[in-house]
Structure 1
Amino acid sequence: MSISAQVSFVLVAYNEPWRADQLCQLVRELRPGMRVLPVGDGHAALATCKRQVPSLLIVDGELDGLDGRQLLRELRRHGPTQRLPCVLISARTDTASVRTVLPLAPAAYLGKPYELDDLRRRLDRLLPRSAGRGVAPLAVPADSLDDFLERMRQHNRGAPLQDAVLAALHRLQGGDQDLGELDELLTRDPQVTARLISIANGSGSQQSGSCLSLAQAQQRLGLARSLQLVTELALQHNARLAEPRLAELAAQLGAQALRTARLASWLAQQLKLDSELCFSAGLLQNIGELALLRSLQDWLDSGGELDEPSLQRCLRERAAGFGSALRTQWRLPLGLRQVISAYYALGAGVLSREALVLNLTRLLLELPCDAAPTSLAGERTVRLLRLDPELLARAPRHAIPG
């Protein structure tokens, strides 16, 4: 989207698309005719400001790329943007964070979640009057649930964190947490696993080879950096789901993911394969469902409605798309993505033995309780792995070791 040099505009730099939409709409309500440009990361915001200085910047403190503080610091170094009014909205409202931001002279510093009426009053004072002053909202048609989810699919934040991880991080901040216990909890959380693997394999990494498991990612990142990243995940909006039904489903899906991961790891150990890769792949096989639940919480937060039939339809029709988009968006290593995909179906190409293990894991977990595991002996996966029927008989479908 190009910006005319003669037209003033407001730049909204925000991670969460539905929040960005809400902020853009709020500006248009207050100043009908005002141009509003949304961007989704800090580098895009910085490049836009250098092309043309906006009338006002509304920025997410936890923005991807350059976060809000880093972006504001860069803007204050350049003459044209030194006095740019900025509204910073951040999850970090502790005394130390506020002191860090004050020298950067934000026009307003608001905590998450912001209070809409308070933000409206502040923006009304900061927005230029020449763009017109609105007293009534524009008549913009509301999104349907499907439209909303289609937009969120390519820009969602992934899964919520497990309650046990959030509680452990809270205890850690208070100095009352065993790091060994916390590390054990982190290995069970799909969002932690996916994001640390993604970041460890990021463009900034100078090491060769891909990290395919959480253990490899933690080794590359180090303890301090890993904990910092997990804490940042915990500060994100909807890291914990507020709606009870969504929270209940997330807990069930998390338990299912852990069960899958443990069985896949057990099978890999028996076959002397990469058990850490199989554990991580098993933990991530249903992250699309978890990410979808988080976006549905966003839908409810924005004033949408959701009944049980719509919820179940969304899980059936949209979870796979959310998972695929996440794996691409986070640039998870191809080897890991192939193993995850094999959980659902075996492609026609050459398959690793770890991929076959994930497919066998699904077959075992979906087997009726009264059916013997040896009934799978004729399956293509079992034949390709050349499994001993005795191993199938020993597979711990119900009491999977931790």
Structure 2
Amino acid sequence: MNAADLTPPCVLIAEGDPWVRDMLREMLLSVRCDARLQVCADGSQALTALASKPDLIIAARELAGVDGLDLLRKVRAKGPGLPFILMSNRSDSASVREALPLHPTAYLSKPLNMGNLRKRLEELLLEVGEQIACPVPPLQPGASLPAFLEQRRATADGGPLFADVQVAIKRALNPQGLDLKVLEAEVRNDPQVTAVLIAAANSAALHRDAPVQTLLQALNKLGSTQSMNLILGLALKRSARLSDPLLAQQAAHFWNLSLHTAEYARSLARMLELDEELCYCAGLLHCLGDLAVLRCLQEWRLAGGDLHDGLVQASLRDFGAAFGSALRTRWRLPLGLRELIAAIYQLGGGVYSREILAMNLAGQLARLPAGQGLEKVADNKTARLLKVGLAQLSRLRKVQNPEVKPQDEEPPVPEEKVPT
């Protein structure tokens, strides 16, 4: 393939797992940003897409309909020259020998080694030393910000990254491989990483398995290599970091609010003998919609759109909740986790679980101004149902906000017993 051709290369990607498809797409565009992509979820779609005459095919062996090996057979029946990268969960010698007579350009075992994949793609899609420039497409004349956000709501990539994922992976690597507990400690405060890994773990899980609802559960479900690939893939996406100072300042506000809510939720869960990690994850993820809006606003600005503080505030007010709901639904986060996230904002009708009440109380505490007393929170329906009194709330607040001055603290009251 001649990368110097005037026409950008057409690449066919055939992969059943939506998160692996997305990762492959981002990896490919990071190597050749002008590539024309045909992305298929099964072998039958890929077979039809051969009519587009791709310059490169990347296909999983384990495809529904027509599997990747049969797809390779059909391609080779038409000629030997088309580059074809075959990926497979099967790395045993018999499986590899079965594919070799069909001359795949590469046979890559899953979970993929992203470094090896990138090297292959650079060899196939770029001349030595070549770099491809891809400016951000300008907005259409007369485009409005509300219309832009409404269009992006269904396809937004989520929020920006806060963790340095390259550093996190480096710290978690040791001679024995990737230490998942160390990796979890490195990225556990990042809402985007947490949400994507939980979503990916549930899409890859067997139906009979219990839903994955925490970061550590997701890491263990996905395994070291797949977890690392997904995390590194997030950094390849456009606007993974917010460069605009106005948007970065707003993102820091929502991130801090998420962290405070998560810490309050974990402390309350410990006090009430609930699932600490589940409550922490729910608190961490509840501002993901606002963060996703900010990321889309950066795309708007990069495309030449006007932006100022008033527009940012209006966009957050009008689209934050809708983006969050759309993301949680599209990523198929477990229903139980979604219910805990929703409880941070308000209690619905009916009977409340203790987890629901704890998340609602965590949200109240996180949003309470530093100088405001806790009496209203203690007298609120949520605290009364949990039987969490003023003294306990004061201690929680002191732990979360050690800078609170003595005069800001509430007077001591007799300690109330926490229900078990």
TM-score, shorter chain, exceeding 0.5: yes
Write out per-residue CA displacement over residues 322-362 of structure 1, whole angstroms, 9 at most, x where no aligned residue: 10001001100000000000000111133221111111112
Please report how far the alpha carbon of residue 239 of structure 1 lies from its aligned counterpart in structure 2 after TM superposition: 1.8
The alpha carbon displacement at 1:12 in A equals 9.3
Amino acid at match of 1:254: W
Q: 2:107: which partner in 1?
A: none
Deviation (angstroms), 1:73: 8.8
Query: Is 1:51 the counterpart of 2:48 in the alignment?
Result: yes
Find the counterpart in structure 1 of residue 116 from structure 2.
96
Q: Determine the C-alpha separation between the residues in 2 that align with 1:284 and 1:150.
A: 21
Amino acid at match of 2:134: L
The 1:397–1:337 alpha-carbon spacing in structure 2 relative to 1, beyond 3 Å, is farther
CA gap 1:297/1:15 in 2 versus in 1, 3 angstroms: farther
Report the equivalent of 1:313: 314
Task: Report the Cα distance in structure 1 between the residues aligned to 2:373 and 2:382, rounded to whole angstroms.
Answer: 16
What are the residue-to-residue correspondences of 1:77-92 with 2, within 5 Å? 77-79=73-75
CA displacement 1:295-345 (0-9 Å, x = unmatched): 122222333232221111111111111100010011000000000000001
Judge conservation of contact 1:190–1:287 (CA < 8 Å) in 2.
yes
Q: Which runs of 5+ in 1 are unaligned?
A: 1-9, 18-25, 28-35, 87-91, 121-136
State the partner residue of 1:257.
Answer: 258
Q: Answer with 191-200 or 336-345: which moved more.
A: 191-200
Within the alignment, does 1:160 sit opposite 2:160 as a pair? yes
d(CA) in 1 for partners of 2:329 and 2:344? 17
Q: Distance in 2 between matches of 1:159 and 1:193?
A: 11
Structure 1's 171 and 309: CA in aligned 2 closer, same or farther, altered over 3 A?
A: same
1:323-402 equivalent positions in 2, closer than 5 A? 323-396=324-397, 399=400
1:229 positional shift: 2.0
Report deviation, 1:165: 3.8
Instruction: Indicate which of 111, 133, 149 corresponds to 1:115.
Output: 133
Equivalent residue number for residue 129 of structure 1: none
Amino acid at match of 2:41: H
Query: Which residue does 1:30 correspond to in 2?
Result: none
Q: Tell which deviates more after alignment, 251-260 or 165-174.
A: 165-174
Per the alignment, residue 301 of structure 1 pairs with 302
Equivalents in 1 of 2:133, 2:310: separation in Å?
32
AA matched with 2:148: F
Distance apart, 1:116 and its partner CA: 3.1
| Preserved contact between residue 159 and residue 191 of structure 1 (Cα < 8 Å) | yes
After superposing the two structures, state which structure 1 stretch, 76-85 or 235-244, moved more.
76-85
Equivalent residue letter for 1:153: R
Name the CA distance, whole Å, in 2 between partners of 1:347 and 1:212.
21
2:184, 2:215 within 8 Å by CA — same for their partners in 1? no
CA spacing shift, 1:272–1:163, aligned 2, 3 Å: closer
Match of 2:145, as an amino acid? L
- Aligned equivalents of 2:56, 2:310: Cα separation in 1: 36
Distance 1:263 1:72 in 2: 49
Cα shift at 1:84:
7.5
The SS at the match of 1:158 is coil
Taking the aligned partners of 2:57 and 2:267, their CA distance within structure 1 comes to 43
State the alpha-carbon separation in 1 of the partners of residues 133 and 326 from structure 2: 31
After superposition, the Cα gap between the structure-2 partners of 1:114 and 1:301, relative to the gap in structure 1 and judged at 3 Å, is: farther
CA distance in 2, matches of 1:95, 1:277: 33
The residue type equivalent to 2:333 in the other structure is L
User: Is the contact between residue 344 and residue 360 of structure 2 (CA under 8 Å) also seen in structure 1?
Assistant: yes
- Check the 8 A contact 1:281/1:340 in 2, yes or no: yes
1:269 paired residue number: 270
Using the alignment, how far apart are the partners of 2:326 and 2:309 within structure 1?
A: 25
Alignment-mate amino acid for residue 327 of structure 2: L
Residue matched to 2:149: 149
Q: Does residue 1:190 correspond to 2:223, yes or no?
A: no
1:367 and 1:172, CA in 2 relative to 1: closer, same or farther beyond 3 A?
A: closer
Distance in structure 1 (CA, Å) of the matches to 2:296 and 2:211: 29
Output the CA distance in 2 between the equivalents of 1:148 and 1:58. Answer: 33
**Retained in 2: the 8 A contact 1:15–1:60?**
no
Q: May I ask how many residue pairs the two structures share in their alignment?
A: 343
Structure 1: distance between partners of 2:233 and 2:396 = 38
AA at the equivalent of 2:373: A
**1:373–1:395 Cα contact (<8 Å) kept:** no
Q: Is the 8 A contact 1:153 1:325 kept in 2?
A: yes
Change (3 A) 1:309 1:85: farther
For the Cα contact (< 8 Å) 1:161–1:191, is it kept in 2?
yes
Check whether the contact 1:56–1:84 (CA below 8 A) recurs between aligned residues.
no
Match of 2:16 in 1: none
| Letter aligned with residue 100 of structure 1 | R
Could you list the runs of 5+ residues in structure 2 that have no partner in the other structure? 1-9, 14-20, 26-33, 85-111, 403-420
CA contact (8 A) 2:257 2:366 kept: no
* Deviation of 1:57 (Å): 5.2
Counterpart amino acid of residue 133 in structure 2: E
Q: Quote the Cα distance in structure 2 between the aligned partners of 1:145 and 1:327.
A: 23
RMSD of aligned Cα (Å): 4.5
Q: Distance in 1 between matches of 2:266 and 2:55?
A: 46
Moved more, 370-379 or 322-331: 370-379
Q: TM-score if structure 1 supplies the norm length?
A: 0.69
CA shift, 1:249, in A, is 2.3
